[in-house]
Structure 1
Amino acid sequence: MFERTTRSLKLTDAGEAYYQTCQRVVNELSEAEAVLAAQRTHTVGRLRVAVPMTFGRTHVMPVINAFCRRHPDLHINMTFADRFVDLFDEGVDVAVRIGGPADYPASLGVRHLGNERLVFCASPDYLQRHGTPQQLDELQQHRAVAYERVDGSTTPWRFIAPDGRIASRTVSHALAFGDSEAQLSAVAAGLGIAQMATWLLQEAEQAGRVQVILPQLALDGLPLYLVWPRKKQLLPKVDALLQAFRQLTIR
């Protein structure tokens, strides 16, 4: 490594090569530490977000778009899936969940965003052709457009009973869809009556393609939660996204 004489000490060629390699490693470590420090104090890096498919497209994406404009140095990976997403196994920073437990483990941060509002709806064309039901029992005379679960069963209709209790009823359906946007499309096309969440109906109702019926039977549906690994909230990028989600409203 060294060449020694009585008057000097200098590196050999091998020693010089070793020194240059070590110098590069030290510089790279310094750069890595600087990057890590910046990510701890600034909104830079990568964020992985998981959301339900339809709700994610209609309600979460406007929040994400505005967030990305404010933080151009962040890289966002979005997962759209109507399934349970394990935040730790899949490396997710923030997730929106529809439904789920009322109590979450201490390792997770949770914010209740609100509850779905379930209403019965149909297209003006369908109601003109078949009449508008005025009470619950009249629904059995109409075509039902149901939501089909993964196991092949359909979601029962839920409603406020005359005695104030929440009741449910499995309906004989003419059509069933495993996708809520397809279900809404069928309703807007005049193919029957469905019970759906108001957040999904909002645009179609404003456009006059569907209208709410039997408002006295409306009731709260599933809760919506914002969930994140609690320790990750210490990262500015995660905390900034959690603050951005305060704009999200459930109607």
Structure 2
Amino acid sequence: MHDQRLKDIIPFVASVECGSFTAAAQRLHVTGSAISKSVSRLEARLGSRLLERTTRSLRLTDAGTAYYQTCIRIMEELAEAESVLAAQRTIPSGRLRLAMPNTYGRLNVMPLLIPFCQQYPELELSLSFSDRFVDLFDEGIDVAIRIGEVHDLPESLGFRYIGRERMVFCASPDYLNQQGRPQNESELLQHRAILYERVDGSPKPWLFINEEGYPIWRTLPHRMALGDVDAQVQAVCAGLGVAQMPSWLIRRALDNGDLDVILPDLQPDGLMLTLVWPRRKQLLPKVDALLGTLAGLDIR
């Protein structure tokens, strides 16, 4: 296979994945004209039309679909071959990209990453703090930490379950001294609630477990709903009401005495914490070392 074939495959695959020549050009840091010429050159050499062009989008032809699948397989095999060769190096080095939820990353992941960086000075870490869903392949992520349910992961992804959150009812000592400490679920529901506001603007209800062991979500009147968990913690610590939050989020406030746990027997499991990574990168020493470090994460 001569060089030009490989050169034309990359713009073609990028055009399909990005949906346009313009977006593919931005990804590859070239002009849209260069992308268009490369795909046209590829079609001319193959004698088949691979893409149907419109003013707004690109669509694969039947021949294009078959060729695209072949290109992807070739690129994956090349990446795997490079991973095996790179794995022969025993010292983790090079750029390592980690994506993680914003608050959880700051509170729980960074304390592990600081000694990790000190241990491996040849690594260049790129850390993304965001609560949005991250596509590992599109964004070149080596490892991602996800809080939430994970279903039907593709075979191209490796994963490791860390555990589930423990949801805790809490309030400040001053609030409990003034309003009284609830002794049961019924009394708890009479207190002023500080809720988390979801992206769609709706307040997140409280989670309970019924006698049969099934989860029950209770929507209740509330004094305040905040779309930021740090602000929610501040409001509860200030004595504005009662909240249900994951224990990892309020661990420092509990240790400092700024918050007290209410009804410790009512602590249902919340969301799952999972590590995910492109399976083909698992042999890389840098990824293996990071996964070993992140195995020490605590979600409870």
Please name the residue that 2:269 is paired with: 220
Please name the residue that 1:154 is paired with: 203
Please name the residue that 2:154 is paired with: 105
Structure 1 stretches of 4+ moved >4 Å: 36-41
Please name the residue that 1:67 is paired with: 116
- % identical equivalent positions: 59
SS in 2 for 1:49: strand
Please name the residue that 1:95 is paired with: 144
Is the 8 Å Cα contact of residues 86 and 284 (structure 2) preserved in structure 1?
no
Structure 2 gap segments, 5+ residues each: 1-81
Amino acid corresponding to residue 196 of structure 1 in structure 2? M
2:192 is aligned with 1:140 = no
Amino acid corresponding to residue 290 of structure 2 in structure 1? L
What are the equivalent positions in structure 2 for 1:63-212 lying under 5 Å apart?
Answer: 63-212=112-261
2:106 is aligned with 1:57 = yes
Alignment partners' CA distance in 1, 2:139 and 2:263: 42
Structure 1 gap segments, 5+ residues each: 1-32
RMSD across aligned C-alpha pairs, in angstroms?
Answer: 1.7
For this pair of structures, how many residues does the alignment match?
217
Q: CA-to-partner distance for each residue in 1:104-150, whole Å, 9 max, x for gaps?
A: 21111101011000011000000001011111122332111000111
Q: Give the TM-score of the pair, scaled to structure 1.
A: 0.82
Alignment partners' CA distance in 1, 2:87 and 2:298: 32
Q: CA-to-partner distance for each residue in 1:39-98, whole Å, 9 max, x for gaps?
A: 854311001100001100010001111110000110001000011011111111011000
Alignment partners' CA distance in 2, 1:151 and 1:110: 29
Q: CA-to-partner distance for each residue in 1:153-183, whole Å, 9 max, x for gaps?
A: 1111011224433211012111111111110
SS in 2 for 1:68: helix
Is the 8 Å Cα contact of residues 142 and 193 (structure 1) preserved in structure 2?
yes
Amino acid corresponding to residue 149 of structure 1 in structure 2? R
More strand by share: 1
Question: Per chain length, whose mean CA-contact separation is higher, i.e. which structure has more relative contact order (CA < 8 Å, sep 6+)?
Answer: 1
Q: CA-to-partner distance for each residue in 1:187-218, whole Å, 9 max, x for gaps?
A: 01101000000111111001110011022221
Please name the residue that 1:22 is paired with: none
Is the 8 Å Cα contact of residues 120 and 193 (structure 1) preserved in structure 2?
yes
Is the 8 Å Cα contact of residues 206 and 244 (structure 2) preserved in structure 1?
yes
Is the 8 Å Cα contact of residues 156 and 169 (structure 1) preserved in structure 2?
yes
Q: CA-to-partner distance for each residue in 1:219-240, whole Å, 9 max, x for gaps?
A: 1100000111110111111111
Is the 8 Å Cα contact of residues 114 and 224 (structure 1) preserved in structure 2?
yes
**Structure with larger Rg:** 1
Alignment partners' CA distance in 2, 1:117 and 1:103: 24
Alignment partners' CA distance in 2, 1:169 and 1:126: 22
Q: CA deviation at 1:102?
A: 3.8
